[in-house]
Amino acid sequence: MSSIKKLAGQTFWYGLSSIAARFINYLLTPYLTYSTLISKANYGQMNAVYAAIPLFNTIFAYGMETAYFRFMRKDTDHDAVNNTATISLLVSSVLLSAVLWMNQSWLGKIATVSEYPELIKLAIIIIFLDALNTIPFARLRYEGRPRQFALIQIANILITLVFTVFFLSYCPAKAKSDPNSWAVLIYNPKTNPIVYVLLANAIASFFTLVFLAKRLFPKKWKFNFTLWKIMMGYALPILIAGMGGMINETFDRLMLGWWLPGTVEYADEQRGIYGACYKLSILITLFIQAFRMGAEPFFFKQAEGQNPQKVYARVTKFFVITVAVMFLFVTLFLPVWKYFIDPKYWEGLKVVPILLLANMCLGIYYNLSIWYKITNRTIAGATITLVGTAITILINFFFIPKYSYVASAWATFLCYFSMMLISYLWGQKEYHIPYAWKKLVAYLVISLLLFFLHNGITKMYSNTVFSITFAVALILAFLLFIIKIEKKEFAQLPYVGALVKRFL
């Protein structure tokens, strides 16, 4: 249990940074959606650009981050791994950025924002800076410095927030009150307002690079080509899996622009609505991201100990319980959460439960995927992800023209559900882990039934106070049920164990 306590501690700090950073960033959602400067179409354009950036982030990192963790555990010459990975990413980031810069029109067509070249230029700058940050952040995680990691992540979002408000609120107000002020040199009302959002992001990414400067360059400019080839052999399947993962996660916003019938403005508005409602699934996404930050190096280190499969099974159990509670917390309190976005986006709220279920499946998949990373079968991860990618593309292609972003939400769920199921069945044959799968499936099904129960009754008795009160009662009942079933497990946890023994 001490190992799980350690993971919980690291996840707390990574979670603190992710939650604090995402929460601050989350404040931008009501700010941007309620802004009179930004239309639904503008918000859709922003979502399109931010859908393309992660795909290129994955290409620029090409699986080297995961390879770094893998070989820092395996290889005794840690300096060689550090130097080789750092030099590799520095050189490739410069070369790939140059290629993108010379092919801006191509990137504009992918993001369907060709008429706004400023957005493309800023996107390339952000991709370049984020690529340079990859290994420095990985080194912080491997060295077990989650607090420093958290502070830098939070600083990044704070800088983004401050400059976004500066560009979109202070400068317009200053320019309007004094047409001769310096603000008119920065803010142009004819410029797409999303340009200022990306500019704030680029400034924050630059400052992040400054904060990580000590870890940006290798200790010695000594490149081990033999080691690099081995690392690339491990990393390239991760790249394929990562690209497929990004397509599964973000490309639906691009595909809405490609395949929705009607005008370009209509497509932008539809993905603006979808992107705003996607933000409401943020809590589960936050936890998954925090968990991944702590779990990836943790899982590799556990592989060196005795009976790591038992630890993996326990971690998965606590993970499933947590996301099941989070699912209820978001869906049952949706009448409250919806006020984080402007009412003009509320027509898309019906996709929030679907997206939450999709992200639950994705999180469970991340737990299950440890089998192919530990056994060096990363090609299996690439295969599973490509299956999910095929599902995503096919469902979106055939159903977006008729069902718009609702098709995208269902495609996301079916993609992640399929990946989760395939990984479990395949993994149990290659690297058996004693998951309590019957119990975990029961927890997920019960949480889903409670959602339907709440949804059905509150439709008959349409009252916000009753809805919230009923939601609290259902969540408390679910928690008590889980604690009673898992009494022995919770009894082993500090503080929690004392309460369990006392009241149960």
Is 36 domain-assigned? yes
Four-residue CA torsion sign, 101, 106, 112, 114 = positive
Degrees to nearest 5, angle at CA 373 with 372 and 378: 65
For residue 191, give the amino acid letter. T
Average pLDDT over residues 34-52: 89
- Cβ atoms of residues 155 and 208 within 8 Å: yes
Of 13-22, 130-139, 177-186, 197-206, least confident by mean pLDDT is 13-22
Is 500 domain-assigned? no
- Cβ atoms of residues 418 and 434 within 8 Å: no
Question: What confidence tens digit (pLDDT) does each residue in 384-439 have?
Answer: 988 999 999 999 999 999 999 999 999 999 999 999 999 999 999 988 888 888 99
Quick one: DSSP state of residue 144? T
pLDDT cut 70: percent of the chain above it? 87
pLDDT cut 90: percent of the chain above it? 37
3-state secondary structure (DSSP) of residue 341: coil
User: What is the reported pLDDT for 297?
Assistant: 60
Is a pLDDT exceeding 90 seen at residue 240?
A: no
Mean per-residue pLDDT of the chain: 85
Is 429 domain-assigned? yes
Structural domain containing residue 465:
2-493
Instruction: Tell me which residue has tokens 């986006």.
Output: 345
* Closest listed residue to residue 366, CA positions, set 306, 310, 298: 298
Instruction: Tell me which residue has tokens 């869906």.
Output: 331
Number of domains in the chain: 1
Is 201 domain-assigned? yes
- Cβ atoms of residues 193 and 168 within 8 Å: yes
Is 504 domain-assigned? no
Q: For residue 227, with 0-12 CB atoms within 10 Å meaning exposed, 13-18 middle and 19 or more buried, which class applies?
A: middle
* Closest listed residue to residue 227, CA positions, set 219, 215, 235: 235
Question: What confidence tens digit (pLDDT) does each residue in 277-303 have?
Answer: 988 887 677 777 766 666 656 666 665
CA 55 remoteness from chain centre: 12
Average pLDDT over residues 332-355: 91
For residue 311, give the amino acid letter. V
* Closest listed residue to residue 6, CA positions, set 494, 501, 500: 494
Is 132 domain-assigned? yes
Average pLDDT over residues 378-383: 82
Q: Name the token pair of 57.
A: 């982030």
Is 212 domain-assigned? yes
Is 498 domain-assigned? no
List the beta strands (DSSP E) in 122-230.
Answer: none
